[in-house]
Amino acid sequence: MSGITTHRDEYGIVEIVVDCPPVNALTVAGWFELADAVTAAGNDPATRVVVLRSEGKGFNAGVDIKEMQHTTGFEALIGANKGCFAAFAAVYECAVPVIVAVHGFCVGGGIGLVGNADIIIASEEAYFGLPEVDRGALGAATHLSRLVPQHKMRAMVYTAATATAAELHHFGSVLEVVPKAELRESAMRVASMIAGKSPAVMRAAKECLNGIDLWDVKRSYRFEQGFTFELNLSGVADELRNEFAGTNKASTGSSTGTTTGTTTGTITGAGASEA
């Protein structure tokens, strides 16, 4: 998948950029590619900090629903779940701090990436949400719980409502809210502060902070994924995804693995995603 690139500067800052039009909804291969990029950056002893950001309309719109609906059986569903799991875990387990720079929409799988990051910088128009219930799925409430208080999280899951960058800044999960034109500059400024410190201490700090977390994010998210599989077995998930994507799972014929790699191309309400 050519839409994920990695850039390294002379200070040890690795910038990973996602640019997968129209809405940065990732295919199965895309999620694994992102996981590999983050893991490789952290494993390089020359890396001091990672900045993850996106180009285009928004930060991330989750998984590619059309790919899932144009693949017979559960191959794409299982692949998407494993890919999301791998990407979220890669951000959390990256040996150095991960800063995410969020603009526009951050929904579904985007919440998993952001919720597992160390530091969040967001543009003024950014918004966050889980439209999973509208797609017949569950998942990433584990990560949303790291962004908003518990009862706010529950309301967002049940209603598919979104929260603004300003709200998350008020909750303390977003470090800074800046104009969109200043987003990358702000993220790189914070990254430079970290890159200027002892790399040995920063790597120890990342491992230490993960070790004192209140819950195991990987096990918690895996528990959520089990309910997504149940909903798919019941048939309700395909009905809702077909309605959203304008597809017909039952008439797609033999498995093709992937399609064009796009969603419907628009983000309305809570977004176009599934985690």
List, in order of start, the domains of the chain with CATH numbers: 4-180+198-251 (3.90.226.10)
Q: What is the pLDDT of residue 2?
A: 66
Q: What is the pLDDT of residue 33?
A: 98
- 144 has a pLDDT exceeding 70: yes
Q: What is the pLDDT of residue 55?
A: 98
Top-confidence residue, 236 or 122: 122
Mean pLDDT value across the chain: 90
User: Confidence class of residue 192 from pLDDT cuts 50, 70 and 90?
Assistant: very high
- 69 has a pLDDT exceeding 70: yes
Q: What is the pLDDT of residue 91?
A: 98
For β-strands 127-129 and 162-164, DSSP reports them as antiparallel
Mean pLDDT score, 63-80: 86
- 156 has a pLDDT exceeding 60: yes
User: Confidence class of residue 269 from pLDDT cuts 50, 70 and 90?
Assistant: very low
**For residue 149, which of 124, 126, 167, 175 has the smallest C-alpha distance?**
167
> What is the percentage of the chain residues whose pLDDT exceeds 70?
89
Top-confidence residue, 115 or 253: 115
Mean pLDDT score, 190-208: 98
pLDDT one-digit tens code per residue, 46-57: 999 999 999 999
Q: What is the pLDDT of residue 265?
A: 34
- 161 has a pLDDT exceeding 70: yes
The answer for residues whose C-beta is within 8 angstroms of residue 155's C-beta and 6 or more apart is 161
For β-strands 119-123 and 98-102, DSSP reports them as parallel
Q: What is the pLDDT of residue 257?
A: 32
Q: What is the pLDDT of residue 264?
A: 31
- 122 has a pLDDT exceeding 60: yes
pLDDT one-digit tens code per residue, 227-250: 998 988 888 888 888 888 787 764
Q: What is the pLDDT of residue 108?
A: 96
- 178 has a pLDDT exceeding 90: yes
Mean pLDDT score, 30-41: 98
